[in-house]
Amino acid sequence: MRLAERAVALSPLVSPAETPSSSRLSVSFPDEAQLLEQLRQGSEAAFRTVVERHQTRIYNTVLALVQSPEEAEDVTQEVFVEVFQTVGRFRGDAALTTWLYRIATSRALNALQKRKAKKRFAFLTTLFGDNNEVQHHPPDFRHPGVLLEDQERMQQLFWAIDRLANQQKVAFTLRYREDLSYQEIAAVMETTVPAVESLLVRAKQALRKQLQSYYHA
């Protein structure tokens, strides 16, 4: 097993309902520059520290975008493997967290694109079969941060978020799920603050339109 994969295996993702305690976090690398330097040298301890410090926020971000716990776990592990494999090319011109969010949102959007491609292929194959119907039911998605009594209402919200344009979806998730500032979102998305503001305005307009009939029924 390669070092990156072994380190991920040694630091398994927390369950959706689990919050990591401070006692689990490594204190061996208090300085981010030192942590990155050790990571570049292939330190398994440094890699484990990165995973333990950031896995929950990355998992939750990916989960909000792909809306499938199993897929979110797979994508999150891919994120950290990519971090290990490409850290040598990380110039340090952004915070480590910003870089992680950047990889996570990119990986999540790629997963969504692959899922859509599979749906299109499934539809096309039915044109040559006996069954001309494509039965697609959205997953029964339950986000771990949502209380049971709010599940139905939030199910509708996540359904609407899933239909946003990709860049709107990322901006909305980083702002309202991860509570990032406009400046932080701009750094993650490698764009400007006014562009982020525009994305959020359009996202809220789209969501308001999609949810209007549900909340005013």
* pLDDT one-digit tens code per residue, 96-129: 999 999 999 999 999 988 876 555 444 334 444 4
pLDDT mean over 15-36: 55
Is the predicted pLDDT of residue 24 greater than 80, yes or no? no
Establish if 139 belongs to a structural domain: no
Q: Please state the φ and ψ torsions of residue 31, each to the nearest 5 degrees.
A: -105, 130
- At residue 102, the pLDDT reads 96
For residues 183 and 117, state if they share a domain.
no
**Of 76, 75, 92, which is closest to residue 39 (Cα–Cα)?**
92
Establish if 119 belongs to a structural domain: yes
Lowest-pLDDT range of 5-14, 57-66, 154-163, 178-187: 5-14
If you average pLDDT over every residue of the chain, what do you get?
77
For residues 111 and 190, state if they share a domain.
no
Is the predicted pLDDT of residue 217 greater than 70, yes or no? no
For residues 118 and 180, state if they share a domain.
no
Cα(157)–Cα(206) distance, rounded to whole angstroms? 11
- At residue 16, the pLDDT reads 43
**pLDDT tens for each residue of 189-213:** 999 999 999 999 999 999 998 888 6
CA 138 and chain centroid, separation: 18
Establish if 79 belongs to a structural domain: yes
3-state secondary structure at position 12: coil
Cα(206)–Cα(200) distance, rounded to whole angstroms? 10
- At residue 93, the pLDDT reads 85
For residues 64 and 14, state if they share a domain.
yes
Establish if 141 belongs to a structural domain: no
- Which tokens belong to 80? 């950290």
Residue 9 binned pLDDT confidence (cut-offs 50, 70, 90): low
Establish if 60 belongs to a structural domain: yes
Is the predicted pLDDT of residue 44 greater than 60, yes or no? yes
Cα(23)–Cα(33) distance, rounded to whole angstroms? 22
- CATH number of the domain bearing residue 26: 1.10.1740.10
For residues 123 and 194, state if they share a domain.
no
Establish if 135 belongs to a structural domain: no
* Residue at a domain's end among 130, 159, 191: 130
* Residue at a domain's end among 67, 97, 130: 130
Q: Are 172 and 161 in contact (CB under 8 A)?
A: yes
Q: Are 129 and 85 in contact (CB under 8 A)?
A: no
Higher-confidence residue of 27 and 171: namely: 171
Is the predicted pLDDT of residue 179 greater than 80, yes or no? yes
Residue 196: which domain range?
146-217
pLDDT mean over 18-39: 61
For residues 123 and 24, state if they share a domain.
yes
Residue 13 binned pLDDT confidence (cut-offs 50, 70, 90): low
- At residue 138, the pLDDT reads 45
For residues 106 and 164, state if they share a domain.
no
Establish if 160 belongs to a structural domain: yes
For residues 63 and 158, state if they share a domain.
no
Cα(195)–Cα(153) distance, rounded to whole angstroms? 29
